[in-house]
Amino acid sequence: MAAKNGSEAAEEHTSSAEIRSFFDSAPPLKNSLEITDKLKEFLDKNSLSAGDGRANRIVCVTSGGTTVPLEQRCVRYIDNFASGHRGAASTEYFLKAGYVVIFLYRRGTCQPYCRSLPADPFLECFEFIDESHIKVREPHSEAVKMAISDHQNVVEKGQLLKLPFTTIFEYLQMLQMVATSLRGLGPHAMFYLAAAVSDFYVPWKSMAEHKIQSGSGPLDMSLVQVPKMLAVLRKEWAPFAYCISFKLETDKNILLKKADMALSKYKMHVVVANELSTRNEEVVVVTGDEKVSVCRDKTQVGCDVEDPLIKLLVEKHAIHIVDSCS
Amino acid sequence: MAAKNGSEAAEEHTSSAEIRSFFDSAPPLKNSLEITDKLKEFLDKNSLSAGDGRANRIVCVTSGGTTVPLEQRCVRYIDNFASGHRGAASTEYFLKAGYVVIFLYRRGTCQPYCRSLPADPFLECFEFIDESHIKVREPHSEAVKMAISDHQNVVEKGQLLKLPFTTIFEYLQMLQMVATSLRGLGPHAMFYLAAAVSDFYVPWKSMAEHKIQSGSGPLDMSLVQVPKMLAVLRKEWAPFAYCISFKLETDKNILLKKADMALSKYKMHVVVANELSTRNEEVVVVTGDEKVSVCRDKTQVGCDVEDPLIKLLVEKHAIHIVDSCS
């Protein structure tokens, strides 16, 4: 085994001290003032300062994976393969359902309305005709039109705010900023936490300053657990918001058990369980009461599992709002 | 310290057994037949089967970083920050100098002629006017025109072959394929190894099959050294080719010493030494005879350090060809 876990006897709960220590040791967010301004402007524009009712529902969709730097002047880092496809697709369906969306995404991952483009759309979709004409290559013309016009449309109308992150440090600081800025919206806010957040990290202060040298022996690394922020998000940052987290496993035998554990441990309203190999076909929506399997409609072309998934979550969110307000 | 090296007393030289073991344990390259065909077609098209003289010089530029999977059904991996900017810029200057280029690059990194585009060129450069018109946004129009037309031009003329990789396993297998296919070209082939190749990896067989579980303790990982393929490239794969490798450090105090070591240890013709913070301004070209500092021309707008660097290397390569043929 390349990796092994340490003492299982260690404290299960995330203590406030652990979280304070994580944030204290994190490199400060470079553009935090700019993010604060963007958030304020976005919420004002959507009249969400004192929102209620269907028109004012907002969701923060997190998407893509976080990196864990292994060196302070970062050359190497641990990453994960998350493409951001789930987050991008879900964002489209939330917008369609009338939600305002904050898309907190990993730089370079999949963007809303761009899912059916080729791998390098910029170089693959266009053709140079002459000095003043650039043409869209035929097989891609529909996809390009949708990507550019639909994306432009929601950004210009101010229904979509996109905030990029790279490291685990950036992600958790930004999530805290978004969450506290949405606290005033109470149950009308939703968190749809589809980002693949690193479980382990190297605390900034114990990190090598310079590039790790490749000598002649093996490299031994010791990473510590990232404090579980889900519990803090629920308890402190946005206690009335509707919270959905994801559980991804490659081993389906432990998937539902782990989803149940996440539900009770972090007090999520919903945990969406998905297995790596079938995640675009089927997911299981796990709540305290039930486990509902949600499948992609295979009878129609171009249908996504996110279509029925978001419909179901929007219904559950509506019930949460009614319950919270009564 | 997050990382420490093991025994410095271990064997310094890469043994054939080590290399065989690396390749034997690597997951097989999925598209190796396709790559073989593409290489053959590309060399035939450029009449490089029995090339000599200026017109038939060819360079394999490697670019971007390799990943190291930590799990077999890969969720997590170690990566490095390499943008591929150096490799993309150098490719443009090699093409300008009349070389045919094999661009062996990390998926998603910087592409030739695309360096002056914004971060997400597809969404940022175009504007939707109506059903049949897409416009290039003004500040980007020159950059877009250059990217699309120049890129299209060299690909269509068959002067540029692009081969993408992701993992360290893919990269080294593909490098071996390219190198052995260029062996017949003797001194007319050049290897410009700008890719940031992982130093440490987890052997496939000792890798966790499923996603590593985050229990409650720390994660201890042990990585072993990637065998140094540079020596094998020089000695076996393409013994007459002109070979240039790169040394990047964040600590300038050890940079030139490490470049000298690489030069003698792997029998490179040139090692290009660069320090992380100034790498786009200055590099040092290290050979057995001398160390030449090469700087970007700051008096002109839009000049790259790769411009004088490639000029110098092209001269040195010409001397190598003459020396080898006499």
Q: What ipTM does this complex have?
A: 0.81
Nearest-Cα residue of chain B relative to residue A128 = B149
Residue contact B225–A216, C-beta within 8 A: yes
Residue B227 tokens read as 């065998």
Q: What is the DSSP letter of A55?
A: G
CA distance, residue B225 to nearest chain A CA (Å): 6
Nearest-Cα residue of chain A relative to residue B118 = A122
Residue contact A196–B75, C-beta within 8 A: yes
First-to-final CA distance of chain A: 53
| Helix runs in B242-286, H state only | 252-266
> How far apart are alpha carbons B46 and A304 in whole angstroms?
45
Residues 6+ apart with CB under 8 A from B18: B227
> How far apart are alpha carbons B208 and B220 in whole angstroms?
13
Q: How many other CB atoms are there within 10 angstroms of residue B240's CB atom?
A: 16
A51 pLDDT above the threshold of 60: no
> How far apart are alpha carbons B209 and B293 in whole angstroms?
47
Give the pLDDT score at B145.
85
Residue contact A215–B67, C-beta within 8 A: no
CA distance, residue A88 to nearest chain B CA (Å): 14
Q: Which residue has the tokens 């650039």?
A: A134
B164 strand-pairing partners = B105
Residues from chain A contacting residue B127 (CB–CB below 8 Å) = 148, 152
Distances in Å between the Cα of B171 and the Cα atoms of B162, B164, B166 are 13, 9, 7
A222 pLDDT above the threshold of 60: yes
Among A128-142, A159-173, A249-263, B292-306, name the one with the lowest average pLDDT. Answer: A128-142
> How far apart are alpha carbons A19 and A27 in whole angstroms?
14
Distances in Å between the Cα of A163 and the Cα atoms of A63, A83, A157, A213, B260 are 10, 16, 17, 34, 44
Q: What is the DSSP letter of A138?
A: G
pLDDT digits (tens, 9 = 90+) for A310-320: 999 999 999 99
> How far apart are alpha carbons A97 and B172 in whole angstroms?
48
Residue contact B79–A79, C-beta within 8 A: yes
Q: How confident is the model at residue A2 (pLDDT cuts 50, 70, 90)?
A: very low
Averaged pLDDT score across all residues of chain A = 87
Q: Which 200-219 residues of chain B touch chain A by CB within 8 A?
A: 200, 202, 206-219
Residue B134 near chain A (CB below 8 Å): yes
Do A192 and A242 touch, CB atoms closer than 8 A? no
In a mutagenesis test of the A interface, which of B114, B128, B168, B245 is the best target, namely the one with the most A β-carbons within 10 Å? B128
- Relative to beta strand B68-69, strand B76-80 is antiparallel
Residue A200 tokens read as 């382990």
The number of C-alpha atoms within 13 Å of A102 and in the hemisphere containing its C-beta is 29
Give the pLDDT score at B129.
80
Give the pLDDT score at A55.
52
B132 pLDDT above the threshold of 80: no
> How far apart are alpha carbons B220 and A4 in whole angstroms?
6
- Relative to beta strand B282-286, strand B291-295 is antiparallel
Q: Higher pLDDT residue, A123 or A315?
A: A315
The domains of chain B, with CATH numbers, are 16-212+219-325 (3.40.50.10300)
**DSSP letters of A181-248?**
HHGGGGGGEEEEE-SB--SEE--GGGSBSSPPP--SS-EEEEEEEPP-HHHHIIIII-TTSEEEEEEE
Do A135 and A34 touch, CB atoms closer than 8 A? no
Region A207-225 average pLDDT: 72
A234 pLDDT above the threshold of 90: yes
Selection from A127, A134, A140, A139 nearest residue B153 by Cα: A127
Residue B256 near chain A (CB below 8 Å): no
Residue contact A217–B8, C-beta within 8 A: yes
In a mutagenesis test of the A interface, which of B66, B111, B115, B122 is the best target, namely the one with the most A β-carbons within 10 Å? B122
Residue A132 tokens read as 């003043």
In a mutagenesis test of the B interface, which of A68, A110, A117, A221 is the best target, namely the one with the most B β-carbons within 10 Å? A221
> How far apart are alpha carbons B143 and B148 in whole angstroms?
9
CA distance, residue A186 to nearest chain B CA (Å): 31
Give the pLDDT score at A49.
47
Q: How confident is the model at residue B1 (pLDDT cuts 50, 70, 90)?
A: very low
Residue A132 near chain B (CB below 8 Å): no
Residue contact B123–A148, C-beta within 8 A: yes
CA distance, residue A191 to nearest chain B CA (Å): 23
A129 pLDDT above the threshold of 90: no
> How far apart are alpha carbons A185 and B160 in whole angstroms?
55
> How far apart are alpha carbons A306 and B309 in whole angstroms?
50
Residue A146 near chain B (CB below 8 Å): no
Percentage of chain B with pLDDT > 90? 57
Please provide the size of chain A in residues.
326
Residue contact A9–B216, C-beta within 8 A: yes
Percentage of chain A with pLDDT > 70? 89
A70 pLDDT above the threshold of 90: no
Q: How confident is the model at residue B301 (pLDDT cuts 50, 70, 90)?
A: confident
User: Nearest 10 degrees: CA dihedral of B266, B268, B273, B279?
Assistant: -110
Q: Which 148-207 residues of chain B touch chain A by CB within 8 A?
A: 148-149, 151-152, 196, 199-200, 202, 206-207
Nearest-Cα residue of chain A relative to residue B199 = A214
Tell me how many residue pairs between chain A and chain B have CB atoms under 8 A apart: 249
Residue contact B211–A73, C-beta within 8 A: no
Please provide the size of chain B in residues.
326
> How far apart are alpha carbons A276 and A194 in whole angstroms?
13
Nearest CB to B128; choose among A5, A152, A200: A152
